[in-house]
Structure 1
Amino acid sequence: MLIKPAMNLEQVSPKKVSDFIFDRLEEAIILKEFMSDEQLPSERDLATIFNASRITVREALARLESLGLVEKRVGAKGGTFVLPITRNSHLRNRDEMRRNWDSMIEVFEYRMVVEPGAAYLAAQRIKKEELQQLRDYVTASIEPDCTREAFRSIDVRIHLSVAKASGNAYFDHAVRQIRTKINPALDLMPYSDRVKVNNYEAHRDLIAALEAGDADRSRDIMYRHIEHSAEAIRARVFADESFED
């Protein structure tokens, strides 16, 4: 007799269009696709892009503003501008992150499987121009004038680029999802020359392994890199001192 597996059906609630617009814009800001002080498209343009009303767009922008991700500026050069996420880090305090720590652990576990796997495939499939782009990112990350926001942006681009170089759209999508969840925590981490050097060395070693086509080494380097990142975040969240540098 064939036994049918139990179906895991869950209730869902209809998503408002403004929620969808908010999610897309928040992701783009968190992933640094819109940089600090960059102006978002106008309400009219966003309404066209999302095929929505300007009122709906305005609702989404208001939510972004309430989270300290954007601000509206008036005047001849007015509009909606992206704020440095680290400027409003006080809005994500340690208590909030502690309350959601079980969820963050799940993201860490997911990341420890996905990103090393993406690096493994990337070592076999990466193109010359993709390698050069990674070299450029890593070089820029160690420059003396690399600001905190620029450094965080470069870090995101490096990891997304490795995922894309895997040649697998599922890895690409998964790493975007991971970075959207984990970036707010990374944006709260201290920024110093030591942090820059540590990240530079890890990324430099990864590029060398990718260039050599060494899939096992690429996977292992990525695993150690993100394991160190998870440990640093946990130490920051549960330390006695505040998040301030």
Structure 2
Amino acid sequence: MRTYFPQQFEKVSPKKVSDFIFDQLEESIILKELLPEEQLPNERDMAVMFNASRLAVREALSRLEEEGLIEKRVGAKGGTFVLPLTLNSHHRHREQIASNWESWSKVFEYRLIIEPEAAFLAAQHIQAEQLHQLQQYLEMSIEQDCSRELFRALDVKFHLMIAKASDNAYFEKAVREIRTKINPALDLMPYSQEVRVRNSDSHFELLDVLRAHDGERSRILMRQHIEQSASSIYHRVFDHDIRTQEKESESL
């Protein structure tokens, strides 16, 4: 009897050890688990951490440097340091996002399914210490001296914690994947007191319904929050007036 194999098998592509190291470090930087100016361990220590050769670590670090994610510095205070992602994100990503908007739209569609359902489950399973951690993230985000990079990092932590609180590892993994993909676009967003207040108000409202264990309301608020985020990104990428104003300010 003849066996018919599916036609959608992917072809095997070799992946080097350095690629695995690069992927993990890139994800940690994009998700802001490694913050700007944070110094990475030296090559020898990283080789032990990843159970890999120093050559593989060196290759991964070279790729990260090419991507503008890290910087190697020499001197008494030298080493390898994480660079701020938001500082020049509009130069790095706007045209990339615009030229590949169809693909980005698919990610936003996926997010609209995953994160509201994660919030629904989180309302049922969230623990007291997780609620306390979410409260701390929000309080830090409204401090006057909260930098743009820290604000963006706290936003990521807030969403990842809700996914973790869903008590479903699949949702948690999915949200990590989503945030890794969309963070470059979110880093395009302006940073001002108005933005901080709007975002914080939305997060505080969501925290209140999570604390009340209101799953349906948590789902609705998360969906509204994500829809607003996607709309803001779209206008940031394609609005001609916004782009003109930014170019004018850069030339001053």
Please give the TM-score of this superposition, normalised by the length of structure 1.
Answer: 0.95
The amino acid across from 1:69 in the alignment is L
Superposition RMSD in Å: 1.6
Find the counterpart in structure 1 of residue 221 from structure 2: 221
Unaligned runs of 5+ in 2: none
Aligned residue pairs total 243
Judged with a 3 Å threshold, the aligned counterparts in structure 2 of structure 1 residues 4 and 205 are, in CA distance, closer, same or farther, namely farther
> Percent identity, aligned pairs only?
60
Find the counterpart in structure 2 of residue 15 from structure 1: 15
1:70, 1:80 within 8 Å by CA — same for their partners in 2? yes
1:116, 1:223 within 8 Å by CA — same for their partners in 2? yes
The amino acid across from 2:194 in the alignment is R
Find the counterpart in structure 2 of residue 233 from structure 1: 233
Return the alpha-carbon distance in structure 1 between the equivalents of residues 168 and 116 of structure 2.
13
1:47, 1:54 within 8 Å by CA — same for their partners in 2? yes
1:103 equivalent in alignment to 2:103: yes
Aligned-partner SS, 2:71: strand
Aligned-partner SS, 2:75: coil
Per-residue deviation, residues 78-114 of structure 1 (Å, max 9, x unmatched): 1100011012325424221112211111110010000
Find the counterpart in structure 2 of residue 199 from structure 1: 199
Return the alpha-carbon distance in structure 1 between the equivalents of residues 230 and 4 of structure 2.
40
Find the counterpart in structure 2 of residue 52 from structure 1: 52
Please give the TM-score of this superposition, normalised by the length of structure 2.
Answer: 0.92
Per-residue deviation, residues 181-206 of structure 1 (Å, max 9, x unmatched): 00011111111111100111110000
Deviates more, 1:46-55 or 1:172-181: 46-55
Aligned-pair CA distance for 1:52: 1.5
1:67, 1:91 within 8 Å by CA — same for their partners in 2? no
Aligned-partner SS, 1:86: coil
1:71, 1:81 within 8 Å by CA — same for their partners in 2? yes
Return the alpha-carbon distance in structure 1 between the equivalents of residues 161 and 210 of structure 2.
12
Find the counterpart in structure 2 of residue 76 from structure 1: 76
Return the alpha-carbon distance in structure 1 between the equivalents of residues 125 and 104 of structure 2.
31
Aligned-partner SS, 2:88: helix
Find the counterpart in structure 2 of residue 36 from structure 1: 36
2:93, 2:185 within 8 Å by CA — same for their partners in 1? no
The amino acid across from 1:228 in the alignment is Q
